[in-house]
Chain A
Amino acid sequence: MELNKYQQELFDHQRPVIEKYGRRAWGWSIFYLLWIGLGGYALYLQVIKGHKITGMRDNVVWGLYIANFIFFIGISYAGAVISGILHILKVEWRKPIIRIAEMITVISTIIGPIFILLCIGRLDRLHHLFLYPRLQSPITWDVLAILTYFAGSVIFLYLALIKDFAIYRDANLKVPKWKQKMYKILAIGYKGTPSQKRHISISMNLMAIMIVPLAIIVHSVLSWIFGMTLRPGWHSTIFGPYFVLAAIYSGTGVLIMAMWVYRKMYKLNSYLQDKHFIYLGYIMMILGAAYGYFTFSEYLTGWYGSEKWDSEVIGKLFNPAEYGWWFLFANVAGIILPILIVAIPKTRTPNLIAIASFFMVLALWVKRYLIIVPTLESPLLPMQDTRPEFVKYSATWVEWALTFAGIATFFLFFTIMSKFVTIIPISEFADKEKKSEPVPEIQKEIATE
């Protein structure tokens, strides 16, 4: 593969990253593995002793695990929707960020479902889902949707990678033989002929068009696990779109954070430019406003109608002695903060946008927790139970250990993948650089805006 000047520059910049699993990468990887090991131990205990060692009980049957499940499937929207929609709209500035976005998608789509498995009492009977499937159950919808979505996202990521694999194959990288071989196989003989280019381009367009509705289906179906029940705070028609929106929103936040980390770590300032943060910030602001609107209408209708059972849940969310502070945090950090940070020109800087994203993502995790737990703590019949752990949910160390193990797995997979492929796609960069102005000028332009 012939590389042009810009591509060569970009490739040389990223070359050391994929050639060597450096000391820093090893250090972090071992750190992540320790967390995963702790999670593995917790899982072992949970399987041996039963779910008694979690904080879940007969009233609150789902807890942290399900919140994590929604969270990870949510952030997987980074690749699917952001990268998919930007691809369909042919937005040029997307090119340096699509790899990160699609990696987030694939990795979090692997981790999310693991959390729903942790919640299942009989892991030894998982095959029953395929032996005796019932199409009426939203869980079956979920299994179908997530598997399809995962396949779709892997294909979407891979299609964008083929050209790059060809570049790595031809570049004489100082990497072990097996890695060379792997690049060769994965490049599936791509040579950059016009017909190959056309095929990839058509496939990419098709996948981009397919991945967006698929993603919407996945999170709608996920929300219907809750929406289809007769519980206050769950049984809401808004739940499908609400979840989808929250998912795109949190996905954007994670994408911004990942960009910020990589830019710092590998000094990619001239590729992951300020404008990328600002443009994504705009997207985040719009999504934040829409998410805020959904949140407002969801709780306003419940509060105004003030049905007894609804009011009980909303009362808990508004009560400082129960979940009031968390609810406030979820809304301030999850809606108001990111909007303000992006809206005010002075605070519209990559660092602040990244910080706002961090709090927003955290707030959205809290929000998922607040969707699950207070509703389950408010059954229709009075609990009249004297066992405190049955009345109020509090996660045990086992659940926390597995939560952090999940986050560590996310980082570990990211670290490993970034050692195999360049974080900034090289081949994609070419077409753009030829016709557009050099990088520094764009930065200037943004600065004066």
Chain B
Amino acid sequence: MKKEEEISNKARRDFLKTTAIATIAATACGSLACSCSSKKANVGEKVKLLSPDGEIVEIDSSYLNHQEHMAIVSKLEAREGIAGKKFVMVVDLSRCKNARKCVAACQKWHYRTEDKEWLTVKLMKDSEEGAPYWFPKQCFHCDNPPCVKVCPVDATFKRQDGLVLIDNERCIGCKFCMAACPYSTRVFNWSEPELPFDIKHQQYSPETGIPGKVGTVEKCDFCPDRSREGLLPPCVEACPNGVFYFGDENEDTVSNGDETVSFSQLIKDRAAYRFQEELGTKPRVYYLPPKDRQFPVERGYENLPDNLKERFKDVMEESNLLEKK
């Protein structure tokens, strides 16, 4: 037991270390970027930062150049993946109350309009008498991905770190991968995506998926650009209930932002399962069963806007959850 704790502690330290290094790197880049950019008026808002010497410095926020998606790697690197990693996600269904913060964070990070969700939350009901539960779903980044098998031009590929990504500069838009994916994960750009001007002209990388292009397929990418910076994907960070654990199977560590735990221990203790194991796709996303739930299902329904309520109405009615109100 003690040993395990030690491992877990070490993992956490490692994680914090990487995060710290990334912050410093970000700062360095930020100051570098600001030194050559045009002068900006002081806003007066101070920001505390950790300097490379380990000191905490306070600088005016206007000197910071906010650099999102800074980890642009070459196409080849983007295909290879991050060496030594094997990304994995654990979703704790007992904590989800459909707060939809993960969806919002994902949409924002990837500059997506409301109707194109990479991350969706479904209301599942496994059997007629079974209890409904909220089921967030990203791409499963399967180890035996049906989508990658069928791609005729190698536009979607499996990386050594376990991620399945898409190169939308190679994709011909045949949509075969969408037909092949049993989990309806992939979305198509049916028209030119609406993007801010600077994002539209940003250099494309399969790791960021930005900018999206008309006539090509996209999907959740587990944000490898953030992993390169030592950050967790926005959905994980945004969740108020710590539903998502993201981490590295090789390190045997996953973190939901609040706690960092041993991946193998977590899935052992909580009897994790993979969705539709029988399809043989070997997903990299594990679910912790919705047992001893922290919130009643209705909590995720009551405060939704009407158009979202419409999505789940059938299941709620079927479970007689609407009349109780």
Measured CB to CB, the residues of A under 8 A from B are 49-52, 56-59, 61-62, 119-122, 125-126, 128-129, 131-134, 136-140, 143, 225-226, 228-231, 376, 379-387
Do B174 and A384 touch across chains, with their CB atoms under 8 A apart?
A: no
List residues of B whose CB falls within 8 A of some A CB.
Answer: 115, 120, 122-124, 137, 146, 149-155, 170-176, 178-180, 182-184, 186-192, 214-217, 276, 279, 281, 307-308, 310-312, 315
A-B contact pairs, 13 of them (CB 8 A): A50-B191, A121-B171, A128-B170, A131-B153, A134-B154, A139-B174, A225-B176, A229-B180, A229-B182, A381-B183, A382-B315, A384-B120, A384-B315
Question: With A and B bound together, what is the CA distance between A379 and B186 in angstroms?
Answer: 12
Residues of A within 8 A of B182 (CB): 229-231, 379-380
CB distance from A11 to the nearest CB of B (A): 48
> A137 to B149, Cβ gap below 8 A?
yes
Most B CB contacts (10 A, CB to CB) among A58, A119, A126, A379 go to A58
- Is the CB–CB distance between B123 and A57 below 8 Å? no
Docked CA distance A229–B115 (Å):
26
Give bound CA distance, A27 to B191, whole Å. 38
The answer to whether A228 and B150 have CB atoms under 8 Å apart is: yes
A59 with B184, Cβ < 8 A, contacts A49-B191, A387-B115 known: yes
Closest residue of A by beta carbon distance from B185: A381
Nearest CB of B to A357, in Å? 32
The answer to whether A62 and B179 touch across the interface, beta carbons within 8 angstroms, is: yes
Give the interface SS of chain A, mostly helix, strand, loop or mixed: loop
Q: In the complex the two chains form, is B192's CB within 8 Å of A50's CB?
A: yes
* CB nearest to B178 among chain A residues: A61
**A229 is contacted by which of B155, B179, B192 (Cβ under 8 Å)?**
B179
With A and B bound together, what is the CA distance between A382 and B189 in angstroms? 21
B323 to chain A, nearest CB (A): 21
A390's nearest neighbour on chain B, judged by CB, is B115
Out of B146, B153, B186, B308, name the residue touching A134 (CB < 8 Å): B153
**How many inter-chain residue pairs (CB < 8 Å) link A and B?**
135
The one of B152, B171, B187 in contact with A140, judged by C-beta atoms closer than 8 angstroms, is B152
Which 10 pairs between the two chains have the least Cβ-Cβ distance?
A: A121-B173, A121-B215, A139-B152, A50-B191, A52-B191, A137-B152, A61-B175, A52-B190, A384-B311, A128-B153
Is the CB–CB distance between B311 and A50 below 8 Å? Answer: no
Minimal beta-carbon separation of B204 from chain A (angstroms) = 14
Q: Which of B137, B184, B191, B312 has the most CB of A within 10 A?
A: B184
A57 to B186, CA, bound (A): 11
B215:A384 contact, CB within 8 angstroms: no
A355 to B190, CA, bound (A): 40
B190:A139 contact, CB within 8 angstroms: no
What's the nearest-Cβ distance from chain B to residue A222, in Å?
Answer: 13
Find chain B residues with CB under 8 A from A382 CB: 122-124, 315
* Contact assessment for A62 and B184 in the assembled complex, using a CB-CB cutoff below 8 Å: no
Residues of A within 8 A of B192 (CB): 50
Chain B residue numbers with a CB within 8 Å of A62 are 175, 179
The reply to whether B154 and A61 contact each other, CB–CB distance below 8 Å, is no
- Across-interface contacts of A51 in B (CB, < 8 A): 188, 190-191, 215
CB <8 Å contact, A380 and B172: no
Q: How many Å lie between the Cα of A228 and that of B294 in the bound state?
A: 41
Alpha-carbon separation in the docked complex, A382 to B123 (Å): 8
Chain A residue nearest to B168 (CB atoms) is A122
Write out the residue numbers on chain A whose beta carbons fall within 8 Å of the beta carbon of B187. 58
Asked if B191 and A136 sit within 8 Å, CB to CB, the answer is no
- Inter-chain contacts of A231 with B (CB < 8 A): 179, 182
How far, in Å, is A423 (CB) from chain B's closest CB?
A: 37
A229 to B, closest residue via Cβ = B180
Query: Whole-angstrom distance between the alpha carbons of A376 and B186 in the complex?
Result: 13
Chain B residue nearest to A142 (CB atoms) is B152
